[in-house]
Amino acid sequence: MVQRKDRHKKKVFKRIPSGNKIIYKEKKHSKHSCALCGKILHGVPHGKSPSEIRKLSKSQRRPEVIFGGILCSQCRTIIVEEAVKVKEKNKKIEEIDLNLKPYVEIMIKRIK
């Protein structure tokens, strides 16, 4: 019977001289992706378990940029540009795309 700790692990069959042996391996987690465009984020670790990531220092866990670990660099620049346009009253907050709006509102609060 499978041990309780091995139930969520991936089952791998290993050939050995006496026959086949079942080995249980941890599943590899997927890489983090951008919340807007879906690109893979750089500088964000994707370890086997949350306990491995917890052991890293805070600066190794996520980038120290605004929206670091959430948005890619291209999406961040778009949001900063939109927030500046709203701040300088060249554009109204209602004219911004709905998927960008929550991030732009946070950015406007930070600019003040």
Reading phi first (left if > 0) and then psi (alpha if -120 to 50, else beta), residue 107 is in alpha
pLDDT, residue 51, reads 83
Secondary structure of residue 35 in the 3-state scheme:
coil
Tell me how many domains the chain contains: 1
Residue 94 lies in a domain: yes
Helices (H), 1-112: 50-54, 58-61, 73-87, 101-111
Residue 3 lies in a domain: no
Domain that holds residue 90: 30-111
Residue 43 pLDDT class (50, 70, 90 cuts): confident
DSSP state of 6: G
Residues in the chain: 112
Residue 72 lies in a domain: yes
pLDDT, residue 107, reads 92
